[in-house]
A and B are shown apart, each in its own frame.
Chain A
Amino acid sequence: MSLPASSTSAASAGEQLRELQERIHLLQGRRNREATYALLPAFSPLLPYGLRAGAVYSLEAPLSVAMALLAGPSAQGHWCGVTGIPDFGTEAAAGFGISLERTVLVPDPGERWLVTVSALADVLPLLLVRPPALASAGHASRLSSRLRERGCTLLILGPWPQAEGILSVEASRWEGLGDGHGHLRSHRVDLAWSQRGKRRKVMVDLATLHADPTQAGGLTQPGGVTQPGGAGLLGARP
């Protein structure tokens, strides 16, 4: 009887502690230092604290993984921008839980994609970008300092010179389609998160996220933590 009560109070105390820390950071002028965008529960084994504001993440993964990552913050009322993806399936995005009212698309910025990204970073908290070319290290560092200043999180579909972490897909399986019958029902992907030499893995069924974004889609527990020892806490933070 007392156990759940004490555990909830401990959780709320931790929550309060974090809120207070954020306020201290804010007062000290280190704006958005600790702000994060919470993800769907399915991604908690990989990124327990969500996406850090002002960071760049590189996704070597299909578009559906990127949509599932954006779905959490978008459902909480954050605006999202999508650039350089003319084939963005907005209906699937809405299925993941991305709110279309708070989505801005710049499908084809062409050569001026870096200018577009930095202009969007001024006003939007989350950006998903498929760069037409690899940015040079100089451009990348200038962009990331701007992102840090604005607190805008950038998800890059493809490689990026100074990414904070890389999310890659190790295997992907579609199920439900037979030989002339059925239809695609489940899409299991093995996701691997690597950040500064640490590596964590999880298997997610993206199709269940699509149907019901609130439920935890993680099928297996993160047994594949290759580097034991508190990676859960330290991994998501710089």
Chain B
Amino acid sequence: MPVRAVPVGASALPRALVVWFPDWPLVAAQLAGELGERVPAAVIDKGLVSVCSAEARAAGVVRGLRVREAQSRCPDLTAIRADPARDAREFDEVLAAVERDLPGVHVLRPGLCAWRARGAARFFGSEQEAGGTALEAVAKLGLEARVGVADSVFAAEQAARRASELAALFVVPAGGSRDFLAPLPIATLDDPRLASLLVRLGIRTLGAFAALPEAEIRSRFGPDGTLAHARASGLDPQAIVPRVPPTPLERATDFEPGLDRIDQIAFALRPLAEDFVEGLRRAGLACTELRVQIMDDAGRRSERCWGHPRQFGASDVLDRVRWQLQSGDETSGGRRGGRPATWRSTGDSLTAPVVQVRLLPERTDQIGLRGQALFGGVDERLDHGLRRLQSMLGHGSVLHPVSAGGRLLAERCLMVPWGEDAPPETSALAQRPWPGSLPAPLPTTVFAEPIPVELLDAEARPLRVDERGAAASPAWFRPGSGQDRRPVLGWAGPWPLRQRWWDPDDRRSVERYQVIDDHGEAWLLIGAEGQWWAEARYD
């Protein structure tokens, strides 16, 4: 059996320390507040269970099960969607905490990270001590982890997976990784195609695979096979590259006691907003999308993303916080439709005092690409003027129309606040054919909320359209309740409008009429079951 010449001497071996967080996607969902503690839960990826909690496992749920099957085995299963962004975001905070004790981390994937063990072992005295330090740092966060130390990243990861809850640290002695890996099944390589082929060839363990000559592996399985063979032999070529700790760009401030006036909050936030913009500038970044999180002392959390056409300055950040506070006040106060908010003074008191404000850059761009033109163009001036008006009247008052798809006229036009982008699917919706749409010319006055009107037949009864679309001819029309009824001079309809019969929220089954009254006004009416509304007026 040709044994590869392994460089002897423990000091030459690149030892790796791996920290593994079992069921990380579930832990991340718990940290993000999407999931309670100790509930049977599963993370669903493409309709299959990818991770499940211990409670769910006890009920018989296993990885790879279909959602329906898992739910039939465990009826109170909480299914949450897989979200790699959430996993990475929550893992970042954990890393930052562990890094304080054990610097030089290399992130393999969310829930799995590696260190070069030699430096840590020298500092803490031994590899056991270093691993214990990592476990302590994680335990301080209230999390559970396993640590493995071995000659390669792959072997250390397997060692961490072999560690148990009681003995969370597993150290494979130097040079012993090959023997440690030998009894493990071939599926551990996480390469299903290769594993299935090797099993059919009668090779069932990593040890048996590692015993094959490397030249033969290379000629038969190519570079991927060679890599897998090196891993199985405990010679993982993957190097550990310590990450450069990112400079934190987000900013948060706590108010003690909480503030309940918008102008006070805006005043207190000014240094923070300036620091936020300055921090981004030092990193060479310009923030184009900002996430503002506001916590009040009743425990409510208001969170919103704000876009900016160029980049956020300190006063823009303050404006966004102020608008968010105002709109939050409004949603608790009453109805809020698509209509813009009325302008209100900044001294309004809030429902509950605000205790924390966090500013997070959601999307950034290189500052060089976002600089101001040397000679301020028209667009710059226009944008500045409109933003000034927006900070005076409110964010939702200065709007930009974007055509969108839909059947009702009011749906077909989306009003986007100045500086924001329309939702990404809007233009695709607008391109669709929308059969049954109105013929040109279109009405110029489109009521945002349809106005109740009356459409009467010759006996002055409300016009009704039966389910086959038959109706009497409309003879009278009354635009609004207080007005005289007018004779109908010309009409066309009913034009049926049926959509989404399967969707209880969005279902619509109405009839449309075009009507001219004796004042020469033309109307577009919609109605069902004797109730009529004016959708738009042609004028």
Q: How far is the CA of A174 from the CA of B401 in the complex (A)?
A: 28
Whether the pair A103, B444 counts as a contact (CB closer than 8 A) is: no
Please, which residues of chain A bring their CB within 8 A of the CB of B441? 64, 92, 95, 184, 187, 206-207, 210-211
Chain B: residues with Cβ within 8 Å of the partner, total of: 47
Q: Kindly list chain A residues whose C-beta atoms are within 8 Å of the C-beta of B442.
A: 89, 91-92, 95, 210
Say whether A112 contacts B343, CB under 8 Å. yes
B339 at the interface (CB under 8 A from A): yes
| Min distance, Cβ A143 to any Cβ of chain B, angstroms | 16
Complex: chain A residue closest to B413, CB-CB:
A90
Instruction: Name B493's closest neighbour in chain A (CB-CB).
Output: A180
Known: A119-B385, A178-B492, A184-B538. A62 touches B514 (CB 8 A): no
B268 at the interface (CB under 8 A from A): no
* B522 with A63: CB separation less than 8 A: no
Q: Is the CB of A207 within 8 A of B339?
A: no
With A and B bound together, what is the CA distance between A149 and B445 in angstroms? 32
With the chains together, A107 CA to B397 CA distance in Å?
Answer: 7
Q: Does B440 contact A (CB under 8 A)?
A: yes
Q: Which residues of A contact B439 (CB under 8 A)?
A: 183-184
A89, B409: Cβ atoms under 8 Å?
yes
CA distance A183 to B442 in the complex (A): 11
Given A87-B445, A92-B442, A187-B441, A106 contacting B520 (CB threshold 8 A): no
CB of B397 within 8 A of CB of A108, answer: yes
**A122–B445 CB distance below 8 A:** no
**Complex formed: what's the CA distance from A104 to B385 in Å?**
12
**Is the CB–CB distance between A119 and B382 below 8 Å?**
no
B491–A177 CB distance below 8 A: yes
* Also in contact, A100 and B403, with CB within 8 A (given A63-B539, A177-B522): yes
CA distance A96 to B424 in the complex (A): 26
Q: Which residue of chain A has its CB nearest to the CB of B384?
A: A123
Q: Restricting to B406-437, which residues have a CB under 8 Å from any CB of A?
A: 409, 412-413, 415, 418
B192 within 8 A of A: no
Distance A115 CA – B409 CA, assembled complex (angstroms): 31
B412 touching A100, Cβ below 8 Å: no
Q: Does A12 contact B (CB under 8 A)?
A: no
* Distance of B476 from chain A, by nearest CB (Å): 14
A93, A123, A206, A207: which contacts B385 (Cβ < 8 A)?
Answer: A123
Contacting residue for A116 out of B339, B389, B520, CB 8 A: B389
Which chain A residue shows the least CB distance to B399?
A105
Chain B residues closer than 8 Å to A173, beta-carbon distance? 520
B489 to A: closest C-beta gap in Å:
8
Which chain B residues (310-362) contact chain A, with CB distance < 8 Å?
339-340, 342-343
Among B342, B400, B516, the residue within 8 A (CB) of A105 is B400
Cβ of A211: which chain B residues have Cβ within 8 Å of it? 440-441
Q: Which residues of B contact A210 (CB under 8 A)?
A: 440-442
A120, B448: Cα distance in complex, Å: 24
Q: In the complex, what distance in Å separates the CA atom of A120 from the CA atom of B388?
A: 10
Are B490 and A95 within 8 A (Cβ)?
no
Among candidates A106, A115, A116, A177, residue contacting B399 with C-beta atoms closer than 8 Å? A106
A107 close to B539 (CB less than 8 A): no
B487 touches A (CB below 8 Å): no
Interface pair A183/B492, CB less than 8 Å apart: yes
B479 CB within 8 Å of chain A: no
Task: Say yes or no for A38: interface residue by CB 8 A criterion.
Answer: no
Contact in complex: A181, B492 (CB < 8 Å)? yes
Q: In angstroms, how far is the closest chain A Cβ from the Cβ of B480?
A: 14
Q: Which of A91, A106, A184 contacts B409 (CB 8 A)?
A: A91
Q: Does A109 contact B (CB under 8 A)?
A: yes
Query: Which chain A residues border B473 with CB–CB below 8 Å?
Result: 179-180
Are the C-beta atoms of B382 and A63 separated by less than 8 Å? Answer: no
Option from B340, B403, B490 in Cβ contact (under 8 Å) with A90 = B403
A66 closest partner in B (C-beta): B444
Residue in B382, B413, B444, B514 whose beta carbon sits within 8 Å of that of A183 in the complex: B514
Closest approach, in angstroms, between the C-beta of B268 and any C-beta of chain A?
28
Q: What residues of A have a CB within 8 angstroms of the CB of B340 in the complex?
A: 107-108
Which of B389, B491, B492, B539 has a CB less than 8 Å from the CB of A64? B539
Residues of chain B from 475 to 530 with CB closer than 8 A to chain A in the complex = 490-493, 514, 516, 520, 522
B490 and chain A: residue at smallest CB distance? A177
CB distance from B403 to the nearest CB of A (A): 6
Chain B residue at minimum C-beta to C-beta distance from A187: B441
- The answer on a CB contact under 8 Å between B448 and A104 is no
A residues 59-113 near B (Cβ < 8 Å) are: 62-64, 67, 79, 86-95, 100, 103-110, 112
In the complex, are the beta carbons of B445 and A123 less than 8 A apart? no
- Contact assessment for B491 and A105 in the assembled complex, using a CB-CB cutoff below 8 Å: no
Interface residue? A124 (CB, 8 A): yes
CA distance A112 to B443 in the complex (A): 28
Question: Which residue in B398, B444, B490, B491 is a CB contact (below 8 Å) of A63?
Answer: B444
- Complex interface residues of chain A between 149 and 187 (CB less than 8 A to chain B): 172-174, 177-184, 187
Interface pair B443/A89, CB less than 8 Å apart: yes
User: What is the bound-complex CA distance between A13 and B220, given in angstroms?
Assistant: 82
Tell whether B35 is near chain A: CB-to-CB under 8 Å. Answer: no
Check B401–A100 contact: CB distance below 8 A.
yes
CA distance A32 to B424 in the complex (A): 40
Q: Which of B339, B342, B415, B492 contacts A177 (CB 8 A)?
A: B492
What residues of B have a CB within 8 angstroms of the CB of A206 in the complex? 441
A116→B393 CA distance, assembly (Å): 9
**Docked-complex contact A110 and B382, CB < 8 angstroms:** no
Contact of B446 among A87, A108, A119, A124 (CB under 8 A): A87
Chain A residues near B255: list those with CB within 8 A.
Answer: none
Any A CB within 8 A of the CB of B381: yes
Q: List 23 A-B contacts (CB under 8 A).
A: A63-B445, A64-B539, A88-B446, A90-B413, A91-B413, A91-B446, A100-B401, A100-B402, A106-B393, A106-B399, A107-B397, A119-B389, A123-B382, A123-B385, A123-B386, A124-B382, A174-B490, A180-B473, A180-B492, A180-B493, A183-B514, A184-B538, A210-B441
Q: Given A104-B399, A106-B393, A174-B522, list of 15 further CB < 8 A pairs? A: A62-B444, A64-B441, A79-B382, A89-B442, A89-B443, A92-B446, A93-B444, A94-B403, A100-B402, A104-B418, A106-B398, A123-B385, A174-B520, A178-B490, A207-B440
Interface residue ranges, B against A (CB under 8 Å): 339-340, 342-343, 381-382, 384-386, 388-389, 392-393, 397-403, 409, 412-413, 415, 418, 439-448, 473, 490-493, 514, 516, 520, 522, 536, 538-539
- Going nearest first, the 5 A-B pairs with the smallest beta carbon separation are A123-B385, A177-B490, A62-B539, A89-B446, A210-B441
B-binding residues in A (CB < 8 A): 62-64, 67, 79, 86-95, 100, 103-110, 112, 115-116, 119-120, 122-124, 172-174, 177-184, 187, 206-207, 210-211
